[in-house]
Amino acid sequence: MAIAIITGASSGIGEEFARQLHLSEGIDEFWFVARRRDRMEALRDRLGVKAKIITADLATEAGINEVRNALSEEKPEVKYLVNAAGFGNFGTFEELPEDEVVKMIDLNVKALVLITHITIPYMVKGGRIIELGSGSCFTPLPAFNIYASSKSFVLHYTKALNFEIKKHGLRATCFCPGWVETEFLGKATAREGVTAPKSMKPLLSCESVVKRCVRASRRGRAMCVTNWYTKLQHVLFKLVPDPLLSRMWLGMLNKKI
């Protein structure tokens, strides 16, 4: 039995991974993990797949334990793990409330690492792990700092993990797309007075970016950067000094610090 575990399956990129892995990777059963059960049930019905639905807040220990317990009870043979649960809020360090800062780190970093850690023992040879990084992970970003820094962690962590698990026939890919059309940006800019960066239109489609990531993951790539401007950013960020990049970024946000 080939199992695919997808966190953040109730929306956006996670949902699209479910659709594409179903179409191309011969998955026998999905495990969908997120908080909105109705959305995951609707996805299961729409795709017509066998799916175990785990309703869990992964920013909490209890939520992680839901997945831990399911793994130890069922001992699945996991072919794919996609850690897509995540969120990011714009705002300077002063503007962001402490609970939001902690939750971003707990979900984007701690949960992602823990879910990977508890799942690897159940992964079969040839198995693939996809960790959601972001195009924002390559440089420090004021007023999006906690999110970008959390994704920067994911990038370094995934590259090293990929190196370590090769000997078991497993591969891990850090997926770094540009701005994608999902619920993400609406939530990220929900606070009053927060605006989205000027440069983020047009948004990429989930279908196109996920297709590239599945291909990169199959090839065992440690990182997958999608679309031309994110690739260009990746190169520019290595050449342009951080303070200058920070000023350009704040200009795009129309924000003065």
Interface residues with ligand NAP (CB under 6 A) are 8, 10-14, 34-36, 39, 57-59, 63, 84-88, 107, 132, 134, 177, 179-180, 182-184, 187
Q: Which is nearer to ligand NAP, 8 or 76 (CB)?
A: 8
Whole-number Å distance between alpha carbons of 140 and 83:
23
CB of 150 to ligand NAP, least distance (A): 8
CB of 88 to ligand NAP, least distance (A): 6
CB of 112 to ligand NAP, least distance (A): 8
The size of the chain, in residues, is: 257
Q: Which is nearer to ligand NAP, 64 or 170 (CB)?
A: 64
CB 51 within 8 A of CB 40: yes
Whole-number Å distance between alpha carbons of 253 and 17:
30
Q: Which is nearer to ligand NAP, 59 or 214 (CB)?
A: 59
Q: Which is nearer to ligand NAP, 103 or 218 (CB)?
A: 103
Judged by DSSP in three states, 8 sits in coil
CB of 244 to ligand NAP, least distance (A): 23
Strands across the sheet containing 3-7: 51-55, 29-34, 3-7, 78-83, 123-132, 171-176, 223-225
In the DSSP assignment, the letter for residue 177 is: -
Residue (of 72, 100, 85) closest to 34 by Cα position: 85
Q: Which is nearer to ligand NAP, 88 or 127 (CB)?
A: 88
CB of 107 to ligand NAP, least distance (A): 5
Q: Which is nearer to ligand NAP, 154 or 250 (CB)?
A: 154
CB of 191 to ligand NAP, least distance (A): 15
Whole-number Å distance between alpha carbons of 74 and 174:
27
Residue (of 196, 212, 211, 205) closest to 254 by Cα position: 196
